[in-house]
Each structure stands twice: as C-alpha cells, then as structure tokens.
Amino acid sequence: MLFSSITFLYYFLPLTLVLYFTVPKAFKNTALLLASLIFYGWGEPKYVIWMALSILLGYGFGLLVEKYREKRAGKAICALSVGISLAFLVYFKYVDFFIQNVNAVTGLQLSLLRLALPIGISFYTFQVISYTVDVYKGERAQRNLIHLATYIAMFPQLIAGPIVRYADIAEQLTDRKYSWKGTAWGIRRLVIGLAKKILIANQLGELCSAFRASQEKSVLFCWMYAIAFTLHIYFDFSGYSDMAIGLGRVFGFRFQENFNYPYISSSITEFWRRWHISLGTWFRDYVYIPLGGNRKGRERQLFNILVVWMLTGFWHGAAWNFILWGVLFAVLLTVEKLWLLKRLKESRLLSRIYTLFFVMLSFVIFNGETLGQAFSDIAGLFGGGGIPLVSQEALYYLSSFQVVLVVGIIGATPAACNFVRRISGKAAGSKLLNALEPVVLTVLMLVVTAYLVDGSFNPFLYFRF
C-alpha cells in the first residue's frame, strides 16, 4: 500500500485515525502496531512473518545486551544481533547479486533465487540495528514488546524513511503529546508531501520514462533527462519524507527532518548534510565512527570514508552502478577534505555549479539499469555516440514539460518557502491568510485525488530499497 493511493488516503488512514484516537492511551501503541502490520501485509502478507521475526530477535537481543553490556559477552551478543539482522538483508536483497558475480567470474551456472524484496527491509533492518547498538551504548532496553514492535514497524516511516533511531524516539513511545496545532501541522506536511510526489515527481518521472523509451536521443534530450531525474528523485523522496514526518506528528511523534534543500549546497560535503540526513547520520554514527572516524590518522580516515560510501551505495541497491555511485561520492568527499573545500569558498557561484554538476552526474549513474546504460547516458550529455545536439522529439518534450521543470527547479530551492514566510510575517494574525491556508491545502488535495483517480503515472521508487 502506498501513501499516494486512494486506498490509503480515503480508507486505511481515516479508519486508522478513528481507531487510534478512540482507544485509551494505554492501547494507542497497540492500535498503531495493528494498523502498521495491516499496512505492511497489504501487498505481501507472507513477509510480515520476517518482520515479526526481526522484531522478536531485536527484543530478545536487546534484553541480553543490557544484561551483559558491562561484560565481554555484551559486545559479542550485540555483534551477533547486528550480524543476524544484516544476514536477513543480504539474503533477500543481495544474494542474487553475489550469485551473478560468482557465475561471471568462475563460469559456473548457479541458479538465482529470484526472491521478492520485502518493501522497506533496508529501513527497518537499520532500525533494529539502531536499537541493539543504542542499548549496548547505554540506552535502557525496551521491556514492552508492543512498544518496540511499534517503533520498528510504524507505518508512517516504514517504507521510505526517514530512518528513526531508537534513542531519538524511546521516550515518545510511552509519553507523547497531542494537540490540534500539532495535528494541523502534520496534515499540512502530509498534503505538501503528496503534492510534491504526485504533481511534480510523477510528472518528471514521465519525462524520464519518455527519454528511456526514445529512439531519437539528442544532447538536449540527455540533459533534459539528467535534470528531470535529479529533480524527480528529490521530489519523490523528500515528498515521502514529508508525508512520513507529517503522519508521525498526527500520531504524536516527532521524526528527524530528512532533507534541507540539498541542491543549494556549495560542496558535496554540504550536500550530504542536507540530503537523506537520517541515512547520512546513521552511517556516521554506526559505521564511520566505530571504524575510527578521523581519530586514527589521515590515511585511516580516507579508508573509512571509502568503506562508508561503498556501503552507502550498496545499501541503495544490489547492482554495480550503486556501488560506483557510492565510490564517486567517496572520491569527491576525499578530494574536498584534502584540498578543494578551501578553494570552493572563493566563489559561491562556481562551487554551486560544481556541486550540481557532480550530483546530477551521480544520479545518472544511480538510475542506470546497467553500468553500460549509465555510461551511455553520461556520454550522451557530451555528444557521445554521434547523437545530434537537438531533435524534434526533445523539443516536443521540452515544450510539454517546461512548466513542471521550472516549478521543480524553483521548488528545489527555499525561494517559495521564504516568500510564504515573508507574506505570513507581514500578515501575521490576518483572518484572510488564516482562512486561505486550508483552502489552498484542500485544493491541492482535490487535484492530487483527481490525478490518482485518473490512474496517472505513479511509480514507487523504493521497491529496490
């Protein structure tokens, strides 16, 4: 079940809210857990068993880690828990990748398992690991199985993040506050996220699909595709994060922000402080720092950066283009740390052009179905393959999608948000402004609903995650 679906918006969510706010406080986590299991099992009920197993193992290991964390056994138990969680992830997500590469290297013909990837397994696996490691570091183990299961399976952030760390939400599991103001804020964020996903990301996704299906490539079309996908993945992913954060607030939870206008960054270092923030901080705290971070000399630090970014790329998908994507960022971050960061400060304009260029290039690699296709797409940006500069098809699609491209470019900056804030500040307390906001949100919701009823292009970008 997707957030951006009629089933979710007009059936599942209203019924869940009625149940959640009807039951007494002591049973709210139970209600939320029940709804989360139904949500997860809607499309693939058999994988609820694997999630339940992950939750039970996390619960048991958490208690054992707390009991023995002052002893040598505590570290071994924590490592075992992390190892088992990663084994589940490797089995479902990466085993065919390893088999394919073994076959390619050895000439063997081992059969692929062709397992369906459980939706959101990368996200909830990281949350189970977060819980166990946080307990090992001193966090109190959760003795209420329902509370822990609610944290791991909570549907608002289950399928596309943000990755919620146990230490950040432990108190909220037992003591969270509700208010009309918080609910209104959550609904506003949900509607904005839906609009970003349906009205911008999906339209840009259509342009990307048209490029992929085209037999009339041109340099202009390649650049349109690169720009469109760079905007598409931002609005799709940040839109889902907005929806998750908004839904969390409705249920009384405060989730970490996941995006902060990454495309205005002046360096790759800054970009990764603004893009998928919860993933970046997770790898920093649970991989980079345990490896030694920057405490063991420059060479070890650069090695740690390479490991973290190879793993970050591999986390996104079981293919070589994702690994290359991660390695590219490792190289760029290393170059910046060694000498480039100081030079980037000399010109804000050139530093932003540099950042956008390499981010866009990285996403062309990211979206390639194969490495060959990714390299072909990059070559096309510079006229590789003898393609013309302009084609009639490219001009047609430029004319058709120019509005959404402009809206996407503006929306990826703080310009629109800053404008609204200035207007709000000048008209603070204005009855007209207070009345206008729900009208605008209602209109957005009606337009989104019309697109969904029409059955418009509505892909789910995170099946492979």
**Which residues are known to be catalytic?**
316
CA-to-CA dists, residue 451 to 5, 189, 203, 329, 397, angstroms: 10, 19, 11, 36, 20
193 is written with which tokens? 């996220």
Largest CA distance in the chain: 73
Separation of alpha carbons 440 and 436, rounded Å: 6
197 is written with which tokens? 């996903």
Closest to 186 measured CA to CA, from 236, 238, 248, 235: 248
Q: Please answer whether residues 335 and 379 qualify as being in contact, where contact means their C-beta atoms are separated by less than 8 angstroms.
A: no
281 is written with which tokens? 């901080």
Separation of alpha carbons 142 and 62, rounded Å: 7
Task: State the number of CA atoms in the 13 A half-sphere of 434 facing the CB.
Answer: 4
* 43 CB burial (10 A radius; 0-12, 13-18, 19+): exposed
Q: Please answer whether residues 261 and 414 qualify as being in contact, where contact means their C-beta atoms are separated by less than 8 angstroms.
A: yes
Q: Please answer whether residues 204 and 232 qualify as being in contact, where contact means their C-beta atoms are separated by less than 8 angstroms.
A: yes
Q: Please answer whether residues 28 and 19 qualify as being in contact, where contact means their C-beta atoms are separated by less than 8 angstroms.
A: no
Separation of alpha carbons 76 and 73, rounded Å: 5
Q: Please answer whether residues 222 and 272 qualify as being in contact, where contact means their C-beta atoms are separated by less than 8 angstroms.
A: no
Closest to 29 measured CA to CA, from 183, 147, 145, 143: 147
